[in-house]
A and B are shown apart, each in its own frame.
Chain A
Amino acid sequence: MGRQPKPWVESTLVAYVDHQLDAAQMAAVDDMLREDAEARTIVSVLRAGADPLKVAFNRPMREAVPARLLAALGAAEDHPAETKVVPLRRPLGFLPMRQVLTAAAASIAFLVVGIGVGYWQFAPAPSIRPAGESGAFETALYRALERDQVGAGVGYEDAAGGTGSVTVVGKVQSSLGDACREFRHEWSAGGGKKAETGLACRSAAGDWSVLTVPQGPAG
């Protein structure tokens, strides 16, 4: 059978990644992605760039608005400068969102996946997932996130006999109010210990989006 022209264009895939298609169109793209490796690669590229873009310009969301801008709107006349700030959300604590997310962006390859939603299968995962993965890590991660105790590890053993653990190491409040958690994943592979850190943020829909960064041997 002759090779047909690709039945997709990038702009359809970008709309798919951004959930801007209707249900029928989403389903059609899902079907197509199962068959088409090239489209899956494009979706990976599009999806992986989305989160860094979302936070790369977030600094103004965490900082007080400069007095000159408030003055431009006539909002600053009656108060001393220190109080002329728009009430922003609580500033980030010891672990700024920017740092965590940019740690992820620092990696040449990184992973954006959703737990509990349907796109796990399309994640650009294999290059940075631990070998022998059988979903045990995801389950442990999910439990650790749901338990939500900083410092408490959740261990797992996968079907291939590999073991690992997931520990929530800190809470991160983004300026948009996302509930995010930094976690550390440690596991044994090929006789050595490996570790990665990641960030998981809960969406309004309740599922977790996860960003992980491989960090090499854990000493």
Chain B
Amino acid sequence: MIPRHFQITIALLLLAILVSGVMVIRLRRGEQEMSLHGMPAAPEAPAVPGRLEQIRMLVAYDDDQALRWRDAAVFMPADRSLRARAVLRAVLAQYLQTPSPHPLEKGSDIKEIYLLGDDTMVVDTTSQFADGHPSGILLEQLTLTSLIETLAANVPGVSKVKFLVEGQERETLAGHADLMSFYQTKAVHELAKEFE
């Protein structure tokens, strides 16, 4: 005969396993829902010191196959890489709104900006930015030109820009536009004139 207190202990242990099993399932379900639906619709402003400034953004308009300059008030930190991220996020926010002049995938965002010396910036983007980007020569070129021109206009001294996706190099944005090389902002400025 098993002692009564031992039976109670076993029963309590099994009950604990049952409860923890239920909790694990709920946590996993919540995590899956977060990954499916929980991505912010627009990039959130970084919580860093700074002040509200007027910036100029070159925004892509698919319907007109054109790029146009727009003004916006953006919270701008003092740090260069954070400033760069703030202006790029402001452009992406235009594309992530509904209706959008140039729709991008929900979750498209700038993860980090790395400075190489004084004049080179490496922009690390989220996987949604590239994986969900509409494929097409013009569509991809409008996105990159818009981002590079806005960056050059608001962060002085940037002469070369390269894009990464989740910290990794990628051959193209969505099958067409080159992501392997460093873009020269002066040359991109000339290209942008074709779309303005």
* Chain A bound to chain B: no
